[in-house]
Amino acid sequence: MSTVSNLKPTAEPAPAPMVSVRGISKIYPGGVEALSNIDLDFPEGELTSLLGPSGCGKTTLLKIIAGLLPATSGTVEVDGRPVTKPGPERAFVFQDFALMPWATVLRNVAFGLELRGMPKAEREAIAQTYIEVVGLQGFEHTYPHALSGGMRQRVGLARALAVDAKVLLMDEPFSAVDEQTRRKFQEDLLELVAKERKTFLFVTHSIEEAVYVSDRIVLLAPRPGRVTAIVEPDIPREAGLDRIRRDPVYLDTVEEIWHGLKRYLE
């Protein structure tokens, strides 16, 4: 059974959350209130989704946590320390891949390490490992234009993994690829989360996707952006990844969320 809890984070979980957000508000010039007083915790080692219709501020919140956007007020703490700018403990995966078209896959994946001043041989070796993890071996010296959308996003993912950050922030990473690739990615993501001991923050507008991959789903509503509910799907995964989509808990949770979100659509 899924548990739906309401807004304020409960006091019980003993391990401190990897990312914690308090009182975050974002008001754009012109008065648009993208986020209003967000309080959230993101437990370590879990995949938490931010789910909601367009305009609910989910990407804004993710970018504030990433340090790419300044909040109007409130604080973000990562691994116990307050942050306002990007840092080595967080890595970002972009919705539109953000690959450098003039660089090979190898260089793109190694780019985060290149910016840290790591020597070439070392960073290319690390990049090579992650290229294999995402299944792109053989494409090290290919340029982005010769890759499909799905492959390009794998490069983006490999780049984020290569810097060995504790928190992986993913901004609708699968929305720019086709449906079949997307499903494959979702399965791969579950395996990745199980393998790596990282904390994943995942923004999506797809209910099925959120319920499929997440340990925890934060539901957001627009105008102003705020948290309306937190759902923990608790779907048994031992039977195999392909059985998840037919599990009654999965189906019920999707329906429940859909009914909850419906009233926020026009």
Task: Write out the residues near other proteins by the rule CB under 8 A.
Answer: 66-68, 86-88, 90-92, 94, 96, 98, 100-103, 111-112, 114-116, 143, 145-146, 159, 163
The smaller minimum CB distance to other proteins, of residues 145 and 197, is found at: 145
The smaller minimum CB distance to other proteins, of residues 9 and 57, is found at: 57
The smaller minimum CB distance to other proteins, of residues 149 and 260, is found at: 149
At 25, list the tokens. 């508000």
The smaller minimum CB distance to other proteins, of residues 108 and 253, is found at: 108
| CB 67, min distance to other proteins, A | 8
| CB 126, min distance to other proteins, A | 14
The smaller minimum CB distance to other proteins, of residues 50 and 207, is found at: 50
Give the three-class secondary structure for 126: helix
| CB 94, min distance to other proteins, A | 6
- Tell me the backbone φ, ψ of residue 93, rounded to 5 degrees: -115, 125
| CB 145, min distance to other proteins, A | 4
Closest CA to 147 of 109, 111, 187: 109
Give the contacts of 165 (CB within 8 A, at least 6 positions apart).
Answer: 88, 89, 90, 91, 198
CA–CA distance, 105 with 124 (Å, rounded to integer): 11
| CB 19, min distance to other proteins, A | 15
Residue 209 CB-density burial (10 A; 0-12 exposed, 13-18 middle, 19+ buried): buried
